[in-house]
Structure 1
Amino acid sequence: MLKAIVIAAQPPEATEAEVHRSLSELKQLLLGLDINVIAEVVQKRSVRSSPTYLGEGKLRELAALTGGTGEVPRGPDARRPDRAAQQPAAAEHLLVVADDELSPGQLRNLQAALGVDVLDRTAVILRVFESRARTREARLEIELARLEYEIPRIRDDHTLGDREGGGGRAARGHTNVELAKQRARDRMAAARRELEQLKANAEQRRLSRADVFRVALVGYTNAGKSSIMRQLTGSEVLVEDRLFATLGTTVRQLAPPATPAVLVADTVGFIHRLPHALVASFHSTLSEAREAWLLLHVVDAADPAFRAQIRVTEQVLADIGAAETPSLLLLNKADRLGREARDALAGEYPGALLMSALDHHDGDALRERIDAFFAQHLVERTVSIPYDRQGVLAELRDRLQVVREEYGDAVSVTLRGTPEALGKLAARLSGG
């Protein structure tokens, strides 16, 4: 197993508790990649934009652990340190991981001074997403995000060498860096073309159920969304106690089935400082949240940082245009709280549902809240259906509730459903 030292620069506005929580998340992410954290180094800094991220003294202290020189090379060879010569055998399986997104220059300087590979928080999250992606669409979206992150950093890959023939003005030829960037851009273009086709197909499927009630589970990663998905739909979705256990969107019907039908989508979890490129590229899973009738905002109420996690989720929802969608706050894992804490939360969030995804009674209470929400969108209408047109109603029974039937020259049926579904029935009956 690889070993890592995690580092963080603590700005004046950040508390020690906030830094500790962020580092704890980073450690969990690394553990999901089979990387064991053996030490952490935190330094209070007025800014995070220092060329070496950490101060000179702290950098030398860190280099004593990694076997590096603690100095950034100067002069003509500064951009090409011989890291293999610097790196002792004991550090061959050691990484340094920064709890921030580092600039290309910061990455280069840290690697030169420490003599080991350096990753930042964004690179770690991208690796976790890559390791968990299962669908073709998810893989392409993550690849796009990774390439967008890597292109500005290609200039710092010293293994590429200086030149490679081919093209360029006055037979100068392109550098390996220029060619590597072009290959990356070409791959991004190809991935975007394939994604557009996949998205077009997905859009057709979504349009076919545009008038179907949809619920989307959203929230911080590891808050319990998949467990609630099991409660609501009975589906055997993956449930694991780790960050980003599931990445793809799972859509299942509410069980027992409702009339009209209600589809429930389990979306990717959010996290503090989720890379913008991932938010931008994860179109398919986030579109379920954007197009849902109702959002179930799942929160781990037993986590001391849950209020900050609520803010993170609300910010991402605003970024994707879903801030105005009606939502129900689910304070999950309430079974881990004492009576006093539960009462305090009930007072602080009067509209929320305190629950445990493992308690079937709480699952029933959630189902009642969902049914009540969608009931307000139904209207009642009586239609006359000739006996030889009964098949038209049969086709729409999963979208319409039959309140009453009376038989005469034709069948007089009182129905409850959405205006859209009732409109479809009327159009079919008048269409002959």
Structure 2
Amino acid sequence: MTDQSTAPGADEVRELPTGDDAVGDAVARVLAHADSRARSVSLHGGRATALQDDDSYVSDRDGDQFDREDRAALRRVRGLSTELEDVTEVEYRQLRLENVVLIGVYSGGSLTDAENSLRELAALAETAGAVVLDGLLQRRPHPDPSTYLGKGKAAELALIVAELGADTVIADTELAPSQRRALEDVVKVKVIDRTAVILDIFSQHAKSREGKAQVELAQLEYLLPRLRGWGESMSRQAGGQVGSAGAGMGSRGPGETKMELDRRRIHTRMAKLRKQIKGFAPARAAKRANRDRYTVPSVAIAGYTNAGKSSLLNRITRAGVLVENALFATLDATVRKSSTPDGRPFTLADTVGFVRNLPHQLVEAFRSTLEEIAESDVIVHVVDGAHPDPAAQIATVRNVIGEVEARHLPEIIVFNKADLLDDDARLVLRGLEPTAVFVSAKTGEGIDELRARISELLPNPEVELTLLIPFERGELVALLHERGRVISTEYDERGTRVHALIDPQFTGPFEPYIVVGA
């Protein structure tokens, strides 16, 4: 038996053993760790590595955090039973996660990669309101098509679940409906997958009407192939006497079963939600058109979940955007105004975070929100510099950026949380991305360098003008500062002499004051 745990209630992910005595050894191991029931055992030093130990997020740099109290009020009530029950209605059962055991299967990748993925799943489970009791990994060429783990390992998992008193098993992948049902039948508790946990977090954190509609659409798309009948309650037939309706003999059909009826209702609801989400587009387009009318460049902050995107936005603009040490704390795009060191205005948009194996339903549902990235002039790609695998974070985010057709835009890689990095870690990250900027939204390190880099990449006005504006037309000087880039300003007895760059479409009001031959 290969037991990778180092102590009772180990902080390391354990690998499922092999051999004829595996089940007996598993029982002995679980009994040895029985004292872990009373403790919240996570997968890395008391907290999953995707969540930071330092939770000092509220400070003057973040502005007013009015949403934190409301967010805290949405926490799950623990102690609710999650036993499987015979229900008569097919509906999306919101996750009431309590004590959970995580499972994963890996083949081609390394054990380190598999452990990082399972630790991230632990952070997702904690964000959804769960207490992680244990994490189990199994190496096999392919997941078992029936029970995901295989018959023997599923039986061993059932013993572990029973001894730890777990309520739920979470798989670190998207399970097929048949795999989930087969594994539930063996372990006798609810089995869910990574996608279900992410959807649950999104449903907790959605705040705006558009965000709620997007999450509901993704939930229904996930639910549709997973409708499951419970006994005869699903076999309600709608046929019967039809003569009064004028159909006559030979028209008595079986009607819709309960499952067919639910499928039809789900399709109808999904069509309504798509129409509703589409209806939000004109308002966003109008706001963008207003910014375009004044040629205000836009910068989108993209990155992995919990990398510190909202903290960075607050540090630059004091936007007051909710900052929380949790995954997917931000779902709704937030746009704030800022300016470059030379005074040019631009907008800064905070967007939803990404995660590895982000459910396709969510990418599609949030495509309208992700338009903020595709429509921007510069992408600030925020990476958690303290994460054990930043390269995987960068690859995941770039894949999603590619899905929204924004890979052609200028990109600034920003390694956040620089206050947690030593010189050796910075050297490794510099080798990963030589042109990256190291910043700390907490201490303010690197913010000026980031603003300067943004200024270099933002589009510049094209027309160079030298103007002599009379003192009584001071509003034109203010307009020039607003819509152009003022290089120099001088004053003489005739008025204000200004050397500036401006877009061609805005030169009209200034033409009478152009200095010829300047």
Give the TM interval when normalised to the shorter protein.
Answer: 0.7 to 0.9
- The CA deviation at 1:384 is 7.7
One-letter code aligned to 1:102 = L
Aligned counterpart, 2:500: 415
Question: Which of these residues, 27, 39, 44, is aligned with residue 139 of structure 2?
Answer: 44
Alignment of 1:115-264 (within 5 A): 115-155=188-228, 161-165=234-238, 170-210=252-292, 211-254=295-338, 259-264=343-348
> Is this contact kept in 2: 1:392–1:425, CA < 8 A?
no
2:403 and 2:206 map into 1 onto residues whose CA distance is 23
Aligned counterpart, 2:116: 21
- The CA deviation at 1:359 is 2.6
Q: Secondary structure at the match of 1:398?
A: helix
- Scaled by the length of structure 2, the TM-score of the pair is 0.71
- The CA deviation at 1:397 is 4.2
- The CA deviation at 1:19 is 1.3
One-letter code aligned to 1:343 = L
- In structure 2, the CA distance between the partners of 1:256 and 1:98, relative to structure 1 (3 Å rule), is same
- Scaled by the length of structure 1, the TM-score of the pair is 0.84
Compute the RMSD of aligned alpha carbons: 3.0
> Is this contact kept in 2: 1:52–1:110, CA < 8 A?
yes
- Name whichever of 203-212 and 144-153 sits farther off: 203-212
Alignment of 1:332-343 (within 5 A): 332-343=416-427
- The CA deviation at 1:66 is 4.3
Q: Secondary structure at the match of 1:366?
A: helix
- The CA deviation at 1:38 is 1.4
Aligned counterpart, 2:56: none
- The CA deviation at 1:362 is 1.6
One-letter code aligned to 1:297 = H
- In structure 2, the CA distance between the partners of 1:337 and 1:397, relative to structure 1 (3 Å rule), is closer
One-letter code aligned to 2:393 = Q
Q: Secondary structure at the match of 2:99?
A: strand
> Is this contact kept in 1: 2:341–2:455, CA < 8 A?
no
- In structure 2, the CA distance between the partners of 1:32 and 1:340, relative to structure 1 (3 Å rule), is closer
One-letter code aligned to 2:167 = L
Question: Which of these residues, 366, 372, 375, is aligned with residue 291 of structure 1?
Answer: 375
* CA offset digits 1:326-369 (Å, max 9, x no partner): 01111122222222332343344221112222233421221222
Are 1:103 and 2:176 an aligned pair?
A: yes
Aligned counterpart, 1:307: 391
> Is this contact kept in 1: 2:237–2:254, CA < 8 A?
no
1:34 and 1:157 map into 2 onto residues whose CA distance is 28
- In structure 2, the CA distance between the partners of 1:60 and 1:401, relative to structure 1 (3 Å rule), is same
* CA offset digits 1:300-321 (Å, max 9, x no partner): 1121211111111111111110
- In structure 2, the CA distance between the partners of 1:388 and 1:349, relative to structure 1 (3 Å rule), is same
Alignment of 1:385-396 (within 5 A): none
Q: 5+ residue gaps in structure 2?
A: 1-77, 79-97, 243-250, 513-518
- Name whichever of 110-119 and 339-348 sits farther off: 339-348
Q: Secondary structure at the match of 1:172?
A: coil
Aligned counterpart, 1:328: 412
1:392 and 1:247 map into 2 onto residues whose CA distance is 40
- Name whichever of 380-389 and 283-292 sits farther off: 380-389
One-letter code aligned to 2:337 = Q
> Is this contact kept in 2: 1:393–1:425, CA < 8 A?
no
1:429 and 1:157 map into 2 onto residues whose CA distance is 77
> Is this contact kept in 2: 1:104–1:156, CA < 8 A?
no
- The CA deviation at 1:157 is 6.0
Equivalent residues, number: 404
2:508 and 2:144 map into 1 onto residues whose CA distance is 64
1:339 and 1:232 map into 2 onto residues whose CA distance is 25
Aligned counterpart, 1:59: 154
* CA offset digits 1:174-211 (Å, max 9, x no partner): 01101101111111111111111111211111122123
